[in-house]
């Protein structure tokens, strides 16, 4: 049975084949072998491209399935900052998703985020892609069971605009100085910014900055302490282009 899929990553395998990591709604992240996929222009390598929606079929029960068909359905073109944003999303999913676990919500969010990135006007892409990335990160945390309320602290009290909070990873927000449990957590967040995020109001630069710091802290413990390659690639591109936005 065919199902939709996006390619997160490919690598050569043996002499003529490819291993591809796919994102699908019913299997989540799934690894497949495209046998002979590197042969000629019409091989699977020409179809298994990132940011393209495919219809795929595969079989097998092991860690790696055998890809039996892959047909392109819709290609999304990402350039400049948007390309690195897409690579960042792919790397997050590769690092955070277990194989063969259904992820319909993550698949839908990923598809929607790619579409938003692809349709941004190039002259405003660096500015406008930030809300899309932060929303995806927050929803990803929730879908994986690592989410936390943005309008409530770990004691169950409503977040107050005038107070400052810190994030206790995998637990939630704590009022700064309110409990010894926040000792050692140096990053602080303004309550007003947290409430804006809870209301899905990402328009203010200060709120976006809070969102980036917050999601980076929340994700860090689940990334194994290893840096993200997509960020390093973006910094190198950034040095050439002279831009200061980053995933």
- Give domain status of residue 119, yes or no: no
User: Which tokens go with 214?
Assistant: 């917050």
* pLDDT for residue 41 is more than 90: no
What residue numbers bound the domain in which 13 lies?
A: 1-75
The whole-number average pLDDT for the span 60-84 is 89
**1 close to 59: Cβ distance less than 8 angstroms:** no
For residue 43, what is the domain's CATH number? 2.40.50.140
What's the CA gap between 231 and 87, in Å, rounded?
9
- Give domain status of residue 213, yes or no: yes
**21 close to 54: Cβ distance less than 8 angstroms:** no
Which of 31, 48, 75 marks a domain boundary?
A: 75
In sequence order, what are the residues at sequence separation of 6 or more whose Cβ sits closer than 8 angstroms to the Cβ of residue 71?
A: 2, 47, 54, 55, 56
What's the CA gap between 194 and 210, in Å, rounded?
8
- pLDDT tens digits for range 99-121: 999 999 999 999 999 999 998 87
- Give domain status of residue 5, yes or no: yes
Which of 37, 57, 75 marks a domain boundary?
A: 75
- Give domain status of residue 111, yes or no: no
- Give domain status of residue 171, yes or no: yes
pTM: 0.88
Instruction: Give the burial string for 120-147 (b: 16+ CB within 10 Å, else e).
Output: beeeebbebbbbbbbbbbbbbbebbeee
In sequence order, what are the residues at sequence separation of 6 or more whose Cβ sits closer than 8 angstroms to the Cβ of residue 233?
A: 84, 87
- pLDDT tens digits for range 175-206: 987 654 555 556 899 999 999 999 999 989 99
- Give domain status of residue 28, yes or no: yes
List % helix, strand, coil for the chain (3-state, nearest 5). 40, 25, 35
């Amino acid at each position: 049975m065919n199902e939709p899929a996006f390619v997160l990553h490919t690598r050569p395998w043996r002499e003529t084949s490819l291993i591809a990591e796919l994102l699908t709604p019913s299997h989540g992240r799934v690894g497949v072998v495209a046998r002979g996929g590197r042969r000629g222009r019409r091989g699977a390598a020409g179809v298994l491209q990132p940011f393209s929606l495919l219809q795929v079929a595969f079989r097998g029960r092991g860690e790696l399935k055998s890809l039996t068909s892959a047909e392109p359905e819709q290609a999304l073109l990402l350039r400049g900052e948007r390309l690195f944003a897409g690579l960042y999303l792919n790397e997050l999913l590769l690092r955070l998703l277990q194989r063969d676990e259904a992820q319909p919500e993550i698949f839908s969010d990923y598809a929607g985020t790619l579409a938003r990135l692809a349709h941004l006007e190039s002259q405003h892409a660096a500015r406008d892609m930030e809300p899309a990335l932060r929303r995806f990160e927050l929803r990803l945390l929730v879908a994986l069971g690592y989410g936390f309320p943005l309008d409530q602290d770990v004691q169950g009290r409503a977040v107050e605009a005038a107070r400052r909070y810190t994030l206790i990873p995998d637990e939630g927000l704590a009022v700064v100085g309110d409990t010894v449990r926040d000792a050692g957590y140096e990053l602080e967040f303004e309550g007003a910014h947290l409430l804006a995020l809870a209301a899905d109001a990402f328009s203010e630069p200060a709120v976006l900055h809070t969102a980036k710091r917050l999601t980076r802290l929340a994700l860090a413990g689940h990334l194994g302490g290893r840096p993200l390659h997509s960020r390093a690639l973006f910094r190198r591109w950034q040095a050439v282009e002279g831009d200061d936005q980053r995933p």
